[in-house]
Structure 1
Amino acid sequence: MPRFMGFVRMEENIGTPPKSLFEAMDAYIGERAAKGIFLDGGGLYGTEDAVNFVVRDGQSTRVDGPYAEGKEVVGGWSIMEYPSLAEAVADQEEFAELHAKHWPEVTVISTLRQISTGPEEPEA
């Protein structure tokens, strides 16, 4: 079955999500974990302790956070496995709707990407 990675991007330092979102996410993740869909995931701390290595012109340079130029940061991630791309997309939409319902005052970008297992093309 194809595997997918989900990302949640948002502005940094926008506060703690409401308790109702945490509760809805616990139920959402619990249901998918029980079905074998949700394989792993979690939230991420802010960029204040982040470390990037930038490769440019054949040189690697370490850049420590926080990053003033960043408007959005990845706040959470997940690894999921679905029988089809259509099911993955539908479920990602449901995930986004949880954020719209429980935290409507913030802008959240929920991204789904298929995980490559080699040189083949992604599922259509």
Structure 2
Amino acid sequence: MRFMSIISSAQVGMPTPELMEAIGKLADREIKAGRMIDTAGLMPMETGVRVSIKDRKIVVVDGPFVEAKEVVGGYAIFEFQNKEEALALTVEFMQLHIDHMPGWEGTCEVRPFFPPDMNPCSTHSVVVEVA
């Protein structure tokens, strides 16, 4: 069963080197075990863009987004047997923040993907070209 974890926080700034090292060790272990499929941290909000629909029109806003109360800092995609396995690794990941980044507060949301038979994109190849 595939899960995505999304880390968010109201606090901005780079993680401590100690936290990055600890996360790297955890990621290495999970990659070697075949459970981690992909992961990445995200650049600061000022480097992003939001595309939304308002009054049936597409609206594009460059970052930073001053109204943001929490910022998504990164994600990871895993293949687990069940939700309990996903939860156990997420608790371990969040403990690394307690241990290596005192004072940090945030959330890691863990959600399962739709199964392939319910995903309309699973039968299509998606190619995005960037000029």
Structure 1 spans left out of the alignment, 5+ residues: 120-124
Conservation of the 8 A alpha-carbon contact between 2:11 and 2:104: no
In the other structure, the counterpart of 2:4 is 5
Equivalents in 2 of 1:12, 1:107: separation in Å? 7
Identity across the alignment (%): 32
2:90 to 92, 99, 108: 92
Structure 2 spans left out of the alignment, 5+ residues: 120-131
Q: CA deviation at 1:32?
A: 0.4
In the other structure, the counterpart of 1:61 is 59
Conservation of the 8 A alpha-carbon contact between 2:5 and 2:109: yes
Equivalents in 1 of 2:14, 2:52: separation in Å? 30
In the other structure, the counterpart of 1:45 is 43
Q: What is the alpha-carbon root mean square deviation over aligned residues?
A: 1.3
Q: CA deviation at 1:12?
A: 4.8
Conservation of the 8 A alpha-carbon contact between 2:50 and 2:61: yes
Provide runs of 4+ in structure 1 moved above 6 Å. none
TM-score normalised by length of structure 1: 0.88
Aligned residues: 117
1:105 to 98, 103, 106: 103
Equivalents in 1 of 2:16, 2:51: separation in Å? 34
